[in-house]
Chains A and B, each alone.
Chain A
Amino acid sequence: MQKALAPEISTWPAENPQLIGSRCGACGATAFPRQNHCPRCSAGDMSELLLPRQGTLIAWTTQGFPPGAPYAGPAGKDFVPFGVGLVQLDDVIRVEGRLTENDPEKIQFGMDVELTMVPFTTDDEGNEVVTFAFRPL
Chain B
Amino acid sequence: MNDVAIIGVGLHPFGRFDKTAMQMGAEAIQTALDDAGIEWKDIQFGVGGSYEVSNPDAVTRLVGLTGIPFTDVFNACATAASATQVCADTIRLGKYDIGIAVGLDKHPRGAFTDDPAKLALPQWYAQNGQFVTTKFFGIKANRYIHEHGISQATLAKVAAKNFRNGALNPNAFRRKPISEEEILNSAVLNYPLTQYMFCAPDEGAGAVIMCRADIAHRFSSKPVYLRAAEIRTRRYGAYEVHATSAPLDEDVSPTVYASKAAFEQAGVAPEDVDVIQLQDTDAGAEVIHMAEAGFCADGDQEKLLADGATEIGGPMPVNTDGGLIANGEPIGASGLRQVHELVRQLRGEAGERQVPGEPQVGFAQVYGAPGTAAATILTL
- Residues of A participating in the B interface, judged by any CB pair closer than 8 Å: 5-6, 9, 21, 29-33, 39-40, 58-65, 67-73, 82, 84-86, 88, 91-98, 104, 109, 120, 131
Is B127 within 8 A of A9, CB to CB?
no
* Interchain residue pairs with CB less than 8 A apart (28): A5-B124, A6-B122, A31-B245, A32-B244, A33-B122, A40-B236, A61-B190, A61-B191, A64-B187, A67-B126, A67-B132, A68-B111, A69-B113, A70-B127, A71-B127, A71-B129, A73-B129, A82-B129, A84-B129, A84-B130, A85-B139, A86-B139, A86-B239, A94-B247, A95-B244, A98-B129, A104-B191, A120-B128
Minimum CB–CB distance for A129 against chain B, Å? 9
Minimum CB–CB distance for A95 against chain B, Å? 5
Is A59 within 8 A of B126, CB to CB?
no
B119 interfacial contact with A, CB 8 Å: no
B269 interfacial contact with A, CB 8 Å: no
Flag B91-126 by CB within 8 Å of A: 1 or 0 each: 000000000000000000011010110000011101
Q: In the assembled complex, which residues on chain B have CB atoms less than 8 Å from the CB atom of A30? A: 245, 247
B323 interfacial contact with A, CB 8 Å: no
Ordered nearest first, which 3 A-B pairs have the shortest CB separation? A61-B138, A68-B113, A6-B124
Is B139 within 8 A of A98, CB to CB?
no
Q: In the assembled complex, which residues on chain A have CB atoms less than 8 Å from the CB atom of B128? A: 5-6, 72-73, 97-98, 120, 131
Minimum CB–CB distance for A103 against chain B, Å? 10
Is A61 within 8 A of B142, CB to CB?
yes
Is B245 within 8 A of A96, CB to CB?
yes
Please report the C-alpha to C-alpha distance between residue A109 and residue B189 in the assembled complex, in whole angstroms.
Answer: 19
Q: In the assembled complex, which residues on chain A have CB atoms less than 8 Å from the CB atom of B190? A: 61-64
Of A32, A61, A67, the contact of B131 (CB 8 Å cutoff) = A67
Of A32, A59, A85, the contact of B245 (CB 8 Å cutoff) = A32
Is A86 within 8 A of B113, CB to CB?
no
Of B132, B142, B236, the contact of A29 (CB 8 Å cutoff) = B236
B140 interfacial contact with A, CB 8 Å: yes
Q: In the assembled complex, which residues on chain B have CB atoms less than 8 Å from the CB atom of A85? A: 139
Is A67 within 8 A of B129, CB to CB?
yes
Flag B131-174 by CB within 8 Å of A: 1 or 0 each: 11001001111110010000000000000000000000000000
Q: In the assembled complex, which residues on chain A have CB atoms less than 8 Å from the CB atom of B247? A: 29-30, 40, 93-94
Please report the C-alpha to C-alpha distance between residue A85 and residue B143 in the assembled complex, in whole angstroms.
Answer: 10
Known: A6-B122, A29-B247, A69-B113. A97 touches B130 (CB 8 A): yes
Is B146 within 8 A of A94, CB to CB?
no
Q: In the assembled complex, which residues on chain A have CB atoms less than 8 Å from the CB atom of B239? A: 59, 86, 94
Of A32, A64, A70, A82, the contact of B189 (CB 8 Å cutoff) = A64
User: Which residue of chain A is the closest to B138 with respect to CB atoms?
Assistant: A61
Of A31, A67, A82, A94, the contact of B248 (CB 8 Å cutoff) = A94
Q: In the assembled complex, which residues on chain B have CB atoms less than 8 Å from the CB atom of A91? A: 248
Minimum CB–CB distance for A32 against chain B, Å? 4
B246 interfacial contact with A, CB 8 Å: yes
Of B131, B141, B236, the contact of A39 (CB 8 Å cutoff) = B236
Please report the C-alpha to C-alpha distance between residue A1 and residue B191 in the assembled complex, in whole angstroms.
Answer: 35
